[in-house]
Amino acid sequence: MSATEWVSDQAVQRRSDMPALWLVVIATSFNFMLSFANARGIGVSGTHVQIVQLAVTGLALAMTLLRGGPAVPLAFPILIALFLFLCGVAGFAAGSSDIKTIYDVLLLCTFIALGSTLRRVPLRFLNLVLGLAAVVALFEYFFATAYTQLVDPLGYFGNTRAWVAAALGDTFTEGAGLAISTIRGGGESWLGLSTTGHRVGGIFLEPLSQGYFAAILAIFYCFHFRDDFWRRTLACLVCLMLALISDTRVAVLLIGFFYLAAPVARRLPPQLAYFIPIAGLAAGLLTYATLTLGDSTSEFVFRMSLTFDTLLKSPLYNVLSGGVDLTFAADSGIVTLLSRAGLLGLLVFFVVCSGLASMQRREPMVLILVVIYLFVTAMFGAAFLSIKSAAILGLLIGAVGTGAFAPGFSAERRR
């Protein structure tokens, strides 16, 4: 192949990958765009949000099939089928099923499959989505009033989420405002970056999604720049800034941990990732038991109780087969998955959604850090499965598994 033909072939490959990359940008930002439309008097309801989300997911699935199907081991679809079967068993035992949880898991799996069909995910794609998030976040941080007038998150969520509408009642009548979760009740952020308690949600509208998005990108920047200390440091600092102004402590701690642990994780066997969920459950139970013996009443203990106190009080039958009572633990992603699919289903989820079952090239750093991310964030709710962050997580997991997204020196060598 001549140099001209090679350049032309590379250009065609890049263009053919662009629709999938832009679909992830849409998945990340469509709530912002719908909120903008709602603030302009175009009424947006929860049905509209669901239609857009289903359309994005459907397009991801269609693109995967049109591109020749996912380049994943046979274990990936088999384990997805096993997870669905276990959800069916748990639903039969409990007398009810939860379509949303099943959809959220399949959403992440769909983007993993799509990512595995890409030829190359350029670093500038990560820089683009990070830059977009940073620009909107800084705009909100410094010009909160203008931001709320532009997109009116509170009005948008009041229209599209029943629980927000119920919380607002008749108190929200006019004017723009930040989402409920964007203002700390105590009037001051935990991390001290805002004296008014303002947490930045940016393009995601919600602070938690912004924090988790930053933690995800930190994983893949650490992977891409694993041999470039200064670029890895700079990228992680930008991610840390996003997490800090979102006032999301879990994300801040995860980014710091990923930055420090990445050089070690790359030298560990990838099989270690299989044991992290089991070790995490054991360590969590031990930590929770130790803290409760000391009569601690901190919020951290309360958040841990949603997972571990529920597990300790649930019948063994429900822990194993599903149907754990979610009355007081609906804000724990681990308990929710356990209730919907049983203990085996929970473990299958971590294998399928971390890349352990889909990667042809097993990269220990990515596998280990992603499993840690999934486990820690699952302890504090189900927001980690939101399409706003799950789409880019899935795409990058799939791309790493085929070598479409690789460390900097490897990418350069393939050009």
pLDDT at res. 287: 85
Residue 186 three-state SS: coil
pLDDT at res. 163: 61
Instruction: Calculate what percentage of the chain has a pLDDT beyond 70.
Output: 85
CB-CB contact of 24 with 391 (8 Å): yes
Whole-angstrom distance, CA of residue 205 vs CA of residue 159: 14
Is 207 among the domain residues? yes
Rg (CA), the chain: 21
Is 335 among the domain residues? yes
CB-CB contact of 116 with 396 (8 Å): no
**Which residue did the predictor score with more confidence, 170 or 228?**
228
Helix (H), strand (E) at residue 276: helix 272-293
Query: Quick check: 4 pLDDT over 70?
Result: no
Residue 116 three-state SS: coil
**Which residue did the predictor score with more confidence, 405 or 153?**
405
**pLDDT band (50, 70, 90) for residue 109:** very high
pLDDT at res. 6: 37
pLDDT at res. 192: 60
Is 2 among the domain residues? no
**pLDDT band (50, 70, 90) for residue 3:** very low
Q: Which residues pair with 118 in a beta bridge?
A: none
Is 6 among the domain residues? no
pLDDT digits (tens, 9 = 90+) for 313-326: 888 888 888 888 77
pLDDT digits (tens, 9 = 90+) for 126-151: 999 999 999 999 999 999 889 999 99
Phi-psi bin for 69: left (phi > 0), alpha (psi -120 to 50), beta? Answer: left
Whole-angstrom distance, CA of residue 241 vs CA of residue 355: 27
Phi-psi bin for 145: left (phi > 0), alpha (psi -120 to 50), beta? Answer: alpha
Query: Quick check: 172 pLDDT over 90?
Result: no
CA-wise closest residue to 29 among 206, 161, 208: 206
Query: Quick check: 250 pLDDT over 50?
Result: yes
Whole-angstrom distance, CA of residue 253 vs CA of residue 229: 20
Name all contacts of 43-48 with Cβ < 8 Å and 24+ positions apart.
43/159, 44/156, 44/159, 44/160, 45/159, 45/160, 46/159, 46/160, 46/161, 46/162, 48/160
CA-wise closest residue to 386 among 37, 45, 49: 49
Query: Quick check: 209 pLDDT over 60?
Result: yes
Whole-angstrom distance, CA of residue 8 vs CA of residue 102: 42
Residue 404 three-state SS: coil
DSSP structure string for 214-249:
HHHHHHHHHHHTTT-HHHHHHHHHHHHHHHHHTT-H
Cα-based torsion angle of the residue sequence 185, 306, 276, 312 in order, rounded to the nearest 10 degrees? 160
Q: Give the structural domain span for 324.
A: 15-414
Do you know the residue count of the chain?
Answer: 415
CA triple 222-117-350, angle to 5 deg: 55
pLDDT digits (tens, 9 = 90+) for 43-73: 888 899 999 999 999 999 999 999 999 999 9
Is 8 among the domain residues? no
pLDDT at res. 414: 44
Q: What is the pTM of this model?
A: 0.90
Query: Quick check: 8 pLDDT over 80?
Result: no
pLDDT digits (tens, 9 = 90+) for 269-291: 999 999 999 999 999 888 888 87
Phi-psi bin for 322: left (phi > 0), alpha (psi -120 to 50), beta? Answer: left
Whole-angstrom distance, CA of residue 137 vs CA of residue 29: 12
For all residues of the chain together, what is the average pLDDT? 86
Query: Quick check: 12 pLDDT over 50?
Result: no
Which tokens hold the place of 202? 């940016």
CB-CB contact of 114 with 60 (8 Å): yes
Is 359 among the domain residues? yes
**pLDDT band (50, 70, 90) for residue 166:** low
Is 368 among the domain residues? yes
Within 8 A by CB and 6+ apart from 305, the residues are 288, 292
pLDDT digits (tens, 9 = 90+) for 342-371: 999 999 999 999 999 999 999 999 999 999
**pLDDT band (50, 70, 90) for residue 389:** very high
CA-wise closest residue to 405 among 35, 132, 119, 114: 119
SS3 content of the chain, % helix, strand, coil (to 5): 75, 0, 25
Q: Residue 1, Cβ neighbours under 10 Å: how many?
A: 8
Q: Residue 43, Cβ neighbours under 10 Å: how many?
A: 8
Is 380 among the domain residues? yes
* Residues 205-224, mean pLDDT to the nearest whole number: 95
Biggest CA pair distance of the chain: 73
* Residues 65-90, mean pLDDT to the nearest whole number: 94
Place of tokens 């709602």: 38
Whole-angstrom distance, CA of residue 7 vs CA of residue 361: 26
pLDDT at res. 9: 44
Domain count, the chain: 1
CB-CB contact of 239 with 251 (8 Å): no
**Lowest-pLDDT range, 91-95, 142-146, 166-170, 227-231?**
166-170
